[in-house]
Amino acid sequence: MGLSVLKFGGTSVASPDLMLAAARRVADLRRQARGVAVVVSAMGHTTDELLELADAINPHPPRRETDMLLATGEQVSIALLAMALHSLGIPATSMTGPQVAIRTTASHTRARIRSIDTARLLAELNAGRVVVVAGFQGVTDDGQITTLGRGGSDTTAVALAAALAADVCEIFTDVDGVYTADPRLVPDARKLERISYDEMLELAVLGAGVMHSRAVQFGQRYNVPIHVRHSRKNDAGTLITRESPEMENASVVGCALKENLGRVSLRDLPNKPGVDAAIFNALAEADINVDDIIQNEASGGGMNISFTVEHRDLADIKPAMERVLAECGRGEQLIDVGLSRVSVVGLGMRHHTGVAAKMFTALADAGINIFNITTSEIKISCIINRSDGEKALKAVHAAFDLADGQPTTIDTLTPMRSVRV
Ligand code: ASP
Ligand code: MG
């Protein structure tokens, strides 16, 4: 018997009607004699509402208690979805993360899945029942409830598909698939039929909100095809899959915008060994990710360093960096807010030259100033003013001919011959 893992996001189960519609989809698949495991998120805006509730009680709640609270959202959904399935004559059993034994690290509110015990799941599936598993939650070795970070139900679903060796993980959501850019910002964005794990991972990290990046990593590591599609349509969505040679034909497959970034600049630090180590150890201790690191010599013989962070991390960074400056005995900290990052991503970049030039020209023609540039093998990112974000995204989308109706594989950039060996 084939096995599918289906995941329904919060918007796809936001009301009783939607919950029943999701159940009908599960029932149809089950009646085709397939085993079905379903992962579900909290209904609608439940998680946000729970966070607001917590904030009204205590603006700095212990993270363990935040997890205890947030995990309730998914527990409501699994019970209701199981009830909906029973109403359609489909036997189903709901299970929380701890009941399944989805073991995670102990890092509350941002835990990572370490293992999934498949014994109880398989017992239910073998008995012909659909299992309905709470997304986004797990349990530590000593029995603490954890959550996986916002959007973490995707990761539960793909990890479950990997653990159960399912044929596919279908992510049902409120969009038709993965687009060349966020269609709310770029109306002529095109839906992609396929995209590689690497490209999707870059896009997810760079701000395309469709998939949780850890989920894509799991998919890649265990080679689980991930099908992202609309929960109320029958059309195929986007398949996230292993890379194939023709995927390199286009230099860029998509672009993304990440807003609400800030830049921390530390000026006139001592120019000696150990200073960078002190800064980055302090950031690591605070569990903060930084990007776009630039370091250079200051005029008076000291050194300057700057990096980009998410706005919400600034409150933790400021005191941490003040402590580092105090240890150094010199230097000052400056913080800029109101920045965004616009990025282009594509496997084809490995073999095409001129991608950076094309992107920078598009931004220049739109009158947009670039503050900083970072690249990887398959992406180029520019830090810009937040107020330029939407314009920048539209400009690069147009420059790479990503719009609807454009051919997907013809590219006018020069292939880089030296690499094609
Ligand atoms: N309910 C959680 C959230 O809103 C997890 C998820 O939706 O994937 O972040
Ligand atoms: Mg959600």
Region 129-151 average pLDDT: 97
Structure confidence at residue 353 as a pLDDT band (50, 70, 90): confident
Taking 90 as the threshold, does the pLDDT of residue 410 lie above it? Answer: no
Q: Which two tokens stand for residue 262?
A: 């800030």
Nearest CA-CA partner of 338 in 263, 255, 394 = 263
Sketch the domain layout of the chain as residue ranges.
3-174, 245-421
Question: What percentage of residues in the chain have a pLDDT greater than 70?
Answer: 96
**Cα–Cα distance between 338 and 386 in angstroms, integer?**
5
User: Which pLDDT value is given to residue 406?
Assistant: 54
Nearest CA owner, ligand 1 atom 8: 151
Q: Of all atoms in ligand 1, which is nearest to the CA of residue 151?
A: 8
pLDDT at position 409: 45
Contact 153, 7 (CB under 8 A): yes
pLDDT of 420 reads 33
Per-residue pLDDT, 405 = 63
Instruction: Give the global pTM.
Output: 0.86
Buried b (16+ CB within 10 A) or exposed e, 300-330: eebbbbbbbbbeebbebbeebbeebbeebee
> Which residue has its alpha carbon closest to ligand 1 atom 7?
151
Q: Which residue in 286, 170, 62 sits closest to 70, CA to CA?
A: 62
For 3-174, CATH number? 3.40.1160.10
Q: Which of 9, 378, 10, 350 is nearest to 200 (CA)?
A: 378
Comparing 108 with 414, the larger pLDDT belongs to 108
The protein residue with its alpha carbon nearest to ligand 1, atom 6, reads 151
Q: With 70 as the cut, is the pLDDT of residue 412 above it?
A: no
**155 vs 286, higher pLDDT:** 155
To test the pocket of ligand 1, the residue of 41, 154, 212 to mutate (highest count of ligand atoms within 8 Å of its CB) is 41
Around ion ligand 2, residues with a beta carbon closer than 5 Å are: 10, 41
Helix axes 153-163, 213-222, angle to 10 degrees: 10
Q: At 83, give phi and psi (nearest 5°).
A: -60, -40
pLDDT tens sequence across 28-84: 999 998 899 999 999 999 999 999 999 999 999 999 999 999 999 999 999 999 999
Residue 275 has pLDDT above 70, yes or no: yes
Does residue 263 carry a pLDDT above 90?
yes
Q: What pLDDT score does 287 carry?
A: 81
Residue 421 confidence class, pLDDT cut points 50, 70, 90: very low
Instruction: Give nearest CA residue, ligand 1 atom 5.
Output: 151
Does residue 116 register a pLDDT over 80? yes
3-174 with 245-421: one CATH topology?
no
In the predicted structure, residue 260 carries a pLDDT above the cut 80: yes
Structure confidence at residue 249 (pLDDT): 83
Over the stretch 17-33, which tens digit does the pLDDT of each residue have? Answer: 999 999 999 999 999 98
> For a pocket test of ligand 1, which of 7, 70, 137, 153 has the largest count of ligand atoms closer than 8 A to its C-beta?
153
Among 46, 137, 150, the mutation site with the greatest number of ligand 1 atoms within 8 A of its Cβ is 150
- Distance (Å) from CA 152 to ligand 1 centroid: 6
Q: Where does ligand 1 bind, in terms of residues with CB under 6 Å? A: 9-10, 41-42, 47, 73, 135-136, 150-153
In this prediction, residues 157-161 reach a mean pLDDT of 97
Q: What are phi and psi of 396, to 5 degrees?
A: -75, -35
pLDDT of residue 33: 82
Burial of 254 (0-12, 13-18, 19+ CB in 10 A): buried
Q: Which atom of ligand 1 is nearest to the CA of 150?
A: 9
CATH class of 245-421: alpha beta
Bigger pLDDT: 136 or 313?
136
More confident residue, 389 or 246: 389
Mean confidence (pLDDT) of the chain: 92
